[in-house]
Amino acid sequence: MAWYNVRRVMEECLAIKPDLVFLWDEAWFAFASFNPIYRTRTAMFSAASLTRRFKRTKYRKKYEAYQQQLAQVAANEQSAWMLENKLIPNPDVARIRTYTTQSTHKTLTSLRQGSMIHIFDQDFRRKVESTFNEAYMTHTSTSPNYQILASLDIGRRQAELEGYEMVNKQLALSMTLRQSAYQSDRLKKYFDVLVNKDLVPAEFRESGVEPTLTLTPGLAKWKKPGPMMSLSSIQAGSPYILVKPG
Ligand SMILES: Cc1ncc(COP(=O)(O)O)c(C=O)c1O
């Protein structure tokens, strides 16, 4: 599951090696594409987004400005400068070649072993297709399990039709659980609810923006766990994340 910024990782790596092929393990993240809260952290979204970005004139100008800045740094200081500054790939050279594996059976609906490989590779047809198919045939069974295959198709359909709502519900439930743990005098003795600033030290939170999912005063307002909070308040970034329904 990718809580780091996938697009930024790819972007900076492509500045170092523009033909790098990315293989992302999204074993537990198959649900992510179906909700805007998670989608931007997926490999497929990031690959498409970078492809669009590299075509923009604005990006090209940014790259040229970056090159000019770099040229002004003394040769023996360039490595240190690059460590301090975000790396920007050359849009004329960088290729977007991204593969991701998802265990559909883990977080969506499918029989055990049902999994998918998603591909966003500009060079797939030209460079990869036949070797990829050969490797796939080598490692897969010659007697496919049609029940697993059918269940994958059902899982895909369900995610497409109901995924957004289901992920929203799951988010709401996890917030309710968090709220309950936070407010129960018994549980409070043993559990702490971690928020962003507990997980990411201040020096790595460049924006300085405090986490929107603050526990106080939003959660503390509630005397008893129970009513589900409105997700719209989370998405709007309100510090009061719980909204009493009706
Ligand atoms: C991070 C990660 N990658 C890959 C796998 C393997 O996935 P699969 O069950 O589809 O073989 C797992 C399984 O637990 C996992 O946790």
Instruction: Verify that 135 and 170 share a domain, yes or no.
Output: no
Name the residue with the closest Cα to ligand 1, atom 2.
Answer: 27
Among 2-11, 52-61, 134-143, 199-208, which is the least confidently predicted range? 199-208
More confident residue, 2 or 146: 146
- Determine the structural domain holding residue 46 and report its residue range: 6-140
Please indicate whether residue 27, judged by its CB atom, sits closer than 6 Å to ligand 1. Answer: yes
Task: Give residue 62 CA to ligand 1 midpoint distance, Å.
Answer: 39
Domain C-terminal end among 80, 108, 140: 140
Pick from 24, 104, 106 the residue to mutate for probing ligand 1's pocket: most ligand atoms within 8 Å of its CB.
Answer: 106
Rounded to the nearest integer, the mean pLDDT of the chain is 84
Instruction: Verify that 173 and 215 share a domain, yes or no.
Output: yes
Give a yes or no: residue 49 inside a domain.
Answer: yes
Task: Give the number of other CB atoms < 10 A from CB of residue 121.
Answer: 19
In the chain, the number of structural domains is: 2
Q: Are 97 and 19 in contact (CB under 8 A)?
A: yes
Instruction: Verify that 114 and 217 share a domain, yes or no.
Output: no
Instruction: Verify that 80 and 171 share a domain, yes or no.
Output: no
Give a yes or no: residue 1 inside a domain.
Answer: no
Instruction: Verify that 133 and 39 share a domain, yes or no.
Output: yes
Instruction: Verify that 117 and 36 share a domain, yes or no.
Output: yes
Please indicate whether residue 117, judged by its CB atom, sits closer than 6 Å to ligand 1. Answer: no
pTM: 0.80
Task: Give residue 102 CA to ligand 1 midpoint distance, Å.
Answer: 8
Instruction: Verify that 26 and 61 share a domain, yes or no.
Output: yes
Instruction: Verify that 100 and 42 share a domain, yes or no.
Output: yes
Instruction: Verify that 104 and 174 share a domain, yes or no.
Output: no
Instruction: Verify that 22 and 126 share a domain, yes or no.
Output: yes
Please return the burial class of 62, using the count of CB atoms within 10 Å of its CB with bins 0-12, 13-18 and 19+. middle
Nearest to 111 by CA among 83, 145, 75: 145
Q: Is the pLDDT of residue 221 over 70?
A: no
Among 30-39, 84-93, 170-179, 211-220, which is the least confidently predicted range? 211-220
